[in-house]
Amino acid sequence: MQEPTEKQVYTLARAQVRRDRQLIEALVKIRRAREQDGLTQKVVAERMGNDQSYISRFENLQVNPNQRTIRAYAIAIGAEIEYTVRPVPNVTAVENISAPSDEAEKLWERVSRETLDQSPDYPTRTQILAEA
């Protein structure tokens, strides 16, 4: 196996952020489908011990929630999350992205923001880490 290129690393990160967004969008669809039965943002917020404004930002993809928050939201709306993990062909483990490192967190935040913004200008991993 070969060491991944910067483009591969960035492409993997962007694809993962897209899948994270799709997961949240699917959860929000479940919550909205149950809204007629009283499952409002306020009810979800109370179940999570959060406030309604955070749930609104979560549902509108305006925050970058951690896995714990996503799971808590799923539980609050009565949903189950299934995970699939698979290796990427011809790519070995990515160096310098092992959590928790400041560089990895900054990379993830940057990729997440750009995906949320749908920005067409995607810097390389080197450019991102150089800004750290």
pTM of the model: 0.67
What is the pLDDT at residue 38?
95
Confidence of residue 17 (pLDDT cuts 50, 70, 90): confident
- The pLDDT value recorded for residue 113 is 62
- 8 Å CB contact between 51 and 45: yes
Q: How far is CA 84 from CA 20, 44, 52, 81, in A?
A: 12, 26, 31, 10
Angle, CA 102 vertex, CA 74 and CA 1 arms, to 5°? 85
Pick the residue with more confidence: 38 or 94?
A: 38
Q: How far, in Å, CA of 101 to CA of 68, rounded?
A: 19
pLDDT score, position 10? 80
Average pLDDT over residues 29-47: 95
Q: How confident is the model over 66-121, as pLDDT tens digits?
A: 999 999 999 999 999 998 888 877 666 655 554 445 665 666 666 666 655 544 45
